[in-house]
Structure formats: structure tokens, C-alpha cells
Structure 1
Amino acid sequence: MDNTLAASVAHVTKTYGTGDGTVTALDNVSVGIRRGEFTAIMGPSGSGKSTLMHIMAGLDAPTSGQAFIGDSEITGLNDRDLTLLRRRKAGFIFQAFNLVPTLDVKANILLPFDLDGRRPRPDELHRVQDLVYELGLERRLTHRPHELSGGQQQRVAIARALAAAPELIFADEPTGNLDSRTGRDVLRILREASDTGQSIAMVTHDPVAASFADRVLFLGDGRIVADKPRQTPEEISAHMLRLEQEAAA
């Protein structure tokens, strides 16, 4: 297994349904997320980008093929071992914030440490304090999720994902519920996390968000159709337009 990859899939196919109703979400995809790199995953609606992320993260299983987090194969792992591996290696930022409603903001952010059965080290507490400040949450620490706006809940989810500095961060439309200024702050924080060695895989439809990444993977009809180095928003928009036109043709 290539130890330069933080996550990867090999010959992964994912289908839903049976017979004439079969839908192929991913079609024999092999690709890796390189360590210390910020990778954006883009494509038209229904191209398979979220399915790819979910399989890489062990949140969904492929119909065939293999998925790895680091050098550990996760296809076929039992739920307990998979949960432990994800907890130690990965952070998640998803559109459904998945905050614990009975916990306040501070407890939600520190949840990764509680689940790992330990207290944060002083340097980790310092990083959490920096995240809280950068994400504008310092006056919200004693609030419960239901007392927050959608954008604030998203920022709490982002702070939680980054709190323990996991090796790998999966982000599904992380700026989707944010105003443009907060969205840029979040992208800058993800960019900085990547610059300090964390690996980031981000699904997005936003060319500006994708332009923060080192690499842009484009999916079309369940396959990788382009793998580009860092792009400008204009270059990304042009490529997405071509993919949309091909999908409609």
C-alpha cells in the first residue's frame, strides 16, 4: 500500500438497486488523497462525488473494490474496529452538522477527546481556543445547538472536526451554510491545516472554495474525468460548465 496516501480507493464500484432499476454511482474508480494535501472533489449533481467521499471515510461500503484509510484496509472491517480507526485518524465536516443536542458548544467541540477517553493536552487546548476565536464562537460556548443559527452550528462542527488535529479531514460542502466572509475564514483554516501536514478531502460545488485546494478531482458519471493541480475559480468554472454540458448532452 502507498504510504504517501491518507485515504484511497482501488477499483471501487458502487451500485444501488437491482435489475433495470440499477444505478451506478461509482464505476471502477481508483484514486488517492495524498498526505498533507488539500484535495477538492467536484462534479455535476449525481456524478458520485459524495458517494466517493463516504466510501473513503468508511461511512458507506462499496459494491466491489477496496477502500483504505492510510495503509489500513477498511472494506470488511467490523463496526467497532472501523469506528476506532475513524476516531483516531479522521475528522468529519458534513452538511448535517451532527451536533449532540444535549451538549453545549464547548462540550461538542471537545467531544473527540471525550470519545477517545482522554483530556486535551495544553497544546491541544490552545489550538481549540484559537479555532473558537477564528470561527467567532467565543460568545457561544455555553449555548446548545438549538440556540444557534445554521451557520453557527456549521462552525461548531468545523471546530470539532479540527480540534484533535486528525491526520485526515473529510468535508462535504463545508461552506454551504455559511455567508461568504465566514466561508472564506473556514477555507483559510482548512488551507492552514493542510499547510501544517493534515490531509483534506472536500466535496464542493463552489469554484471559489475549490480554488483553495492543491488539487481538484472532477467526477462525471461515476468516474474520475480530470485530475488537475491548483486551479483558479475561473478555470474550475469553465471545466464544470463543460462537464454539465456533457452530462446534459
Structure 2
Amino acid sequence: MEITSTDLGLAARVQHLTKTFGSGESGVRALDDVSIGIRRGEFTAIMGPSGSGKSTLMHIMAGLDAPTSGRAWIGDTEISGLSDTELTILRRRRVGFVFQAFNLVPTLDTLGNILLPFDLDGRRPTALEKARIDGLVETLGLTQRLRHRPHQLSGGQQQRVAIARALATAPDLLFADEPTGNLDSKTSREVLALLAATSREHGQSIAMVTHDPIAASHADRVVFLGDGRIVSDKPRQSAQQISAHMLAAEVTA
């Protein structure tokens, strides 16, 4: 009997994942036989030096890129064989994204940006979803900013709008790529605390790529990549422990 990802409590997983860019002598193997799962309701930080494959891994897990070989699932749906249209619909309905570049639509106000996933899906929020969005707006301190366009907001406010948009549809899975990279330390702490609370209180699975030990210390689990392979997978770590691990990895590299 095959074990399904639901049985394992996994929101996403990959098996024997390899990704190569280019070919022949100049080819670069970004991921080398990686197998890992993101557990439901858990906040996972994915770390590693530049070129370790962490963003590539996230992009393949999220269905934004295809593997050279290996398989990927979101829940019980194998995404490695889906068409572009099927992938787009799956991502829209089950996955949220927060990027370092906020990726807000400049012509839409805050509320328009938050409701964008619903517009793209051709529907309006249900009463339950609307209540959830109102709660997010309040928690994120955006109540007075709903009619502002992105250029009228600070970097921290723009990132909070991006997080509200990512969480508006209550996705099973949230991918965050260096979400605090453009933020000051106070705003970074607020954003990370919100992500941790979302995971804890709403059972959402979060995978965050970061190079920042302080950001990673908010996660329940820290996965380290090196040269396209998983070199360590640890439960919650302090920023000091993470820094020490990264330093040791650089020394032995």
C-alpha cells in the first residue's frame, strides 16, 4: 500500500528531486536527489548559502518551476505532471506566496490587492472569507490604509498587504521567499511573529526561504541546504545555534 501525503500529514513533498540548469560542461546541478516534506501546520525555514538550491527547491515545491527529474506533490496532488493551466488553478486555490519584492499591483489600492486572488478566480469572497480578511486587515494594521495604493505605503506596509493577500484565501500552504529582506528589524519581527501565529493558530503550513538566522529562529523547523543537498534538518533553533551551524558549514565548505 502506498503511503499518501495525507497519511504522513504533509502539505507538500518532493522525492528524488534533481534540477539542472544548462547542459554539458557548463551545466549546473542546483538540486541533487532531494527528498523532503513540509508538515501540515508547521513553519519550516529553508536555509543555506547563495547557490545552495534553496530558492530552486521552493519554486519546484510551489509549482513555479519544473524538476529535471523526481516528483513533487501539493497535498495528494502530484504536480510534476500537471499542465500549466492545471498548475495555475491549483496554485491559485491552495497556495499563497510572499516574496521579497512585494509584487503588488500598482494601479490597485490595498483592498484591491488583497482581493486579487478572488478576482483571478472569478468569484467574490464568501461571508466567512470576508470575516477572515477583515481580521487579517485589523491584525496587520491596514484598516486605515485600504484605499491607499502601493506607492503611498511604506515598505513594511506593502509587505503586510502582500501577506494579507497571500493568506486571504486560507491556502493550505504558504511559501515565503526572503519575506523580511526589504524590511527594518522592527517590521521584520512583526511579520515573522504573524507568520508563526498563522501557522500555529490556523494550521497553515509555511515554508520560508531565508539567509537570516533571526528570521529562521521563528520557525518550528530549520532545514539547511548545501550544494543542492539537504545537509541538516533540525527542530526549532535559536538564532545563535543557526549562526553557529552556518559558520561551521562555511568553514568545512
| TM bracket (short chain) | over 0.9
**Corresponding residue number in structure 1 for 2:58:** 53
2:8 aligned with 1:2: no
Q: Any conservation in 1 of the 2:15–2:36 contact (CA below 8 Å)?
A: yes
User: 2:187 is matched with which residue: 163, 182, 185?
Assistant: 182
For 1:29, the equivalent position in structure 2 comes to 34
CA distance in 2, matches of 1:122, 1:55: 33
Residue identity opposite 1:209 in structure 2:
A
SS at match of 1:119: coil
How many residues align? The count is 247
* CA-to-aligned-CA distance 1:119-144 (integer Å, 9 cap, x gap): 22333223222322332322221122
What is the DSSP-based 3-state SS (H/G/I as helix, E as strand, rest coil) of the residue aligned with 2:34?
A: strand
Residue in 1 aligned with 2:231?
A: 225
Give the conservation status (yes or no) of the 8 Å contact 2:210–2:216. Answer: yes
2:245 equivalent to 1:242: no
Report the secondary structure of 1:82's partner residue: helix
Instruction: Give, in whole Å, the separation in 1 of the partners of 2:17 and 2:148.
Output: 42
The residue type equivalent to 1:221 in the other structure is D
Deviations 1:12-37 (A, max 9, x none): 11111122111111001010101111
CA distance in 2, matches of 1:80, 1:146: 32
Is the CA contact 1:214–1:230 (under 8 Å) kept in the aligned structure 2? yes
Q: Are 1:193 and 2:163 an aligned pair?
A: no
Runs of 4+, deviation exceeding 4 Å: none
**Which residue number in structure 1 is paired with residue 215 of structure 2?**
209
Whole-angstrom distance in 1 between the partners of 2:35 and 2:85: 26
CA contact (8 A) 2:150 2:158 kept: yes
Deviates more, 1:76-85 or 1:129-138: 129-138
Cα shift readout 1:29-48 (whole Å, capped 9, x = no counterpart): 01010111111100111100
RMSD: 1.3
Are the equivalent residues in 2 in contact too, given 1:43–1:243 (CA < 8 A)? no
Match of 1:92 in 2: 97
Tell me if structure 1 keeps the 8 A contact 2:53–2:228: yes
Alignment of 1:64-103 (within 5 A): 64-103=69-108
Aligned partners of 1:122, 1:149: CA distance in 2, in Å? Answer: 30
Name the amino acid aligned to 2:229.
Answer: R
Q: Conserved in 2, the CA contact under 8 Å of 1:135 and 1:182?
A: no
Q: Which moved more, 1:21-30 or 1:187-196?
A: 187-196
Determine the C-alpha separation between the residues in 2 that align with 1:150 and 1:192: 21
Give, in angstroms, the shift of residue 56 of structure 1.
0.2
How far did residue 117 of structure 1 move? 2.5
Structure 2 counterpart of 1:168, which letter? L
The one-character-per-residue Cα deviations of 1:48-87 (angstroms, maximum 9, x if unpaired) are: 0000000000001111111111111111211110011111
Amino acid at match of 1:2: S
Contact 1:111/1:160, CA 8 A, preserved across alignment: yes
Identity among equivalent positions (%) equals 72
CA distance in 2, matches of 1:208, 1:21: 36
Please give the per-residue CA displacement for 1:170-204, whole angstroms capped at 9, x wherever unaligned.
00011111122221111111111111211000001
Distance in 1, Cα, partners of 2:248 & 2:142: 40
Any stretches of 5+ residues in structure 2 without a counterpart? none
